């Protein structure tokens, strides 16, 4: 078992990427001898590595060694499940994407476990899996997902794997993507269904002081938007600009921008991000300007507002980062991770 000081130092080094023994001692209020022993233990399994030496000060003394966390000591998977397919990313321990892929298919309760199992089964070097899914999620179960027609659905229970898996609401995953950058994040998930004549999914992920906010009934951020972007019944992947009715689309923009503007005005985040597969449409680029028109006193707010890149697999990456946070902060999982790393040498 790892000592508490080793756990603290491992997490501190992972979060800060590079540190010195003095950084650790000063920030964690640990004795130098304790820090030295912990560093040697983490070095012995190649979890932290010396990266460079700093010259001593003009008054003399020893050189200072800078240590870096070894981001390649393990990998995680992040999956984003939507009506029209599954996107997945494989990341290193810093959440940097090393592989990504999209599997296009209509997702139902009958094929969701098979789709997840196929992806996980093909990756033998992962330590954890994060799954982003639309709907109300609690303790790895989908309480309700209108988009996928799921009720009290156990996402993990039927998967044949001993790898830790963490299921989270898609909009929360989007927000978690920015939780290391800012402490107050508002992330809107706009998901176009498989057929574009159906209402666009609308949900928000709230990150307060770096942590997801779920509300008293686990329903924070849940809302319904009875607007579609197109009246033609065609798959989203087949949608072309000439299929769009400008009047229908403008009504959609007007309604969604008002909602986002009101919620953002009340929540007053540092980052307001808009994501989901809708952001892959070129015509959605003007949504930010529409939103700004509906944020009260926007000129007095220090608020970063932007559209995600619809091709960047943001929710899948957020799901991967969520699994990393769990691994490095949960008592059982920290020991699981260290044991796995030690076995691999």
What's the pLDDT score for residue 60?
A: 56
186 and 276 fall within a common domain = yes
Is 190 domain-assigned? Answer: yes
259 and 198 fall within a common domain = yes
204 and 277 fall within a common domain = yes
200 and 274 fall within a common domain = yes
Copy the structure tokens of residue 135: 């709907």
Which residue among 52, 70, 88 closes a domain?
Answer: 70
What's the CATH number where 80 sits?
Answer: 3.30.420.40
222 DSSP assignment: B
35 and 122 fall within a common domain = no
What's the pLDDT score for residue 204?
A: 95
21 and 102 fall within a common domain = no
Is 343 domain-assigned? Answer: no
Give the separation between CA 95 and CA 324, rounded to whole angstroms.
8
What's the pLDDT score for residue 157?
A: 80
156 and 184 fall within a common domain = no
Copy the structure tokens of residue 216: 């008293």
Split into its structural domains, the chain has a count of 3
Give the separation between CA 325 and CA 330, rounded to whole angstroms.
8
61 and 82 fall within a common domain = no
Residues 166, 170, 174, 175: what is their CA dihedral angle, to the nearest 10 degrees?
-80
Copy the structure tokens of residue 331: 């008592």
Is 251 domain-assigned? Answer: yes
Domain that holds residue 251: 174-307
Strand pairing class (184-191; 271-275): parallel
Give the separation between CA 184 and CA 186, rounded to whole angstroms.
7
What's the pLDDT score for residue 327?
A: 92
150 and 233 fall within a common domain = no
321 and 255 fall within a common domain = no
DSSP assignment of 52-104: EEEPPBTTB-PPEEEEEE-TTS-EEEEEEEETTEEEEEEE-TT--EEEEEEEE
158 and 122 fall within a common domain = yes
Give the separation between CA 168 and CA 165, rounded to whole angstroms.
10
What's the pLDDT score for residue 258?
A: 97
Is 109 domain-assigned? Answer: yes
> How would you write the pLDDT of the chain (345 residues) with one tens digit per residue?
688 999 999 999 999 999 999 999 999 999 999 999 999 999 999 999 998 876 665 555 567 899 999 999 999 999 999 888 899 999 999 999 999 999 988 888 899 999 999 999 888 789 999 999 999 999 889 999 988 889 999 998 878 888 999 999 999 999 998 887 889 999 999 999 889 999 999 999 999 998 999 999 889 999 989 999 999 999 998 999 899 999 999 999 999 999 999 999 999 999 999 999 899 898 999 999 999 999 999 999 999 999 998 778 989 999 999 999 999 988 899 999 988 887 765
Residue recorded with tokens 């996402």 = 155
Is 203 domain-assigned? Answer: yes
Of 12, 110, 81, the closest CA to residue 334 belongs to 12
Is 143 domain-assigned? Answer: yes
Of 9, 129, 18, the closest CA to residue 71 belongs to 18
Cα dihedral 72, 178, 108, 135 sign: positive
User: Residue 199 CB: number of other CB atoms within 10 A?
Assistant: 16
What's the pLDDT score for residue 180?
A: 78
Which residue among 70, 98, 126 closes a domain?
Answer: 70
60 and 160 fall within a common domain = no
Copy the structure tokens of residue 178: 């920015």
3-class DSSP state of 315? helix
Helix, strand, coil % over all residues of the chain, rounded to 5: 35, 30, 35
Is 338 domain-assigned? Answer: no
């Amino acid at each position: 078992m790892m000592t508490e000081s080793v756990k603290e130092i491992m997490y501190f080094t992972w979060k800060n990427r590079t540190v010195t023994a003095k950084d650790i001692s000063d920030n964690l209020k640990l004795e130098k001898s304790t820090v030295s022993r912990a560093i040697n233990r983490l070095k012995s399994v190649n979890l932290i590595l010396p990266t460079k030496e700093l010259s001593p000060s003009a008054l003399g003394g020893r050189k200072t060694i800078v240590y870096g966390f070894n981001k390649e000591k393990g990998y995680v998977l992040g999956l984003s499940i939507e009506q029209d397919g599954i996107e997945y990313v494989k990341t290193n321990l810093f959440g940097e994407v090393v592989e990504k892929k999209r599997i296009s298919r209509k997702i139902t309760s009958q094929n969701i476990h098979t789709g997840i199992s196929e992806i996980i089964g093909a990756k033998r070097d992962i330590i954890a899996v994060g799954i982003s899914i639309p709907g109300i999620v609690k303790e790895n179960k989908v309480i309700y997902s209108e988009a996928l027609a799921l009720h009290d659905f156990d996402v993990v229970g039927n998967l044949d794997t001993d790898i830790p898996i963490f299921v989270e609401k898609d909009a929360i995953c989007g927000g978690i993507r920015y939780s290391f950058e800012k402490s107050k994040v508002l992330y809107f998930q706009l998901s176009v269904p498989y057929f574009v004549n159906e209402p666009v999914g609308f949900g928000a992920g709230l990150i307060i002081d770096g942590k997801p906010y779920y509300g008293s009934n686990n329903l924070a951020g849940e809302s319904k938007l009875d607007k579609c972007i197109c009246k033609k019944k065609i798959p989203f992947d087949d949608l072309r600009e000439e299929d769009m009715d400008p009047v229908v689309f403008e009504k959609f923009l007007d309604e969604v921008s008002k909602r986002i503007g009101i919620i953002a005005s009340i929540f007053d985040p540092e980052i307001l991000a808009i994501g989901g597969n809708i952001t892959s449409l070129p015509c959605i680029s003007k949504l930010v300007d529409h939103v700004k028109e509906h944020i009260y006193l926007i000129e007095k707010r220090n608020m970063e507002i932007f559209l995600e890149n619809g091709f960047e697999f943001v929710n899948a990456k957020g799901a991967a980062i969520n699994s990393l946070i769990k691994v490095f902060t949960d008592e059982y999982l920290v020991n699981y991770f260290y044991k796995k790393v030690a076995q691999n040498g």
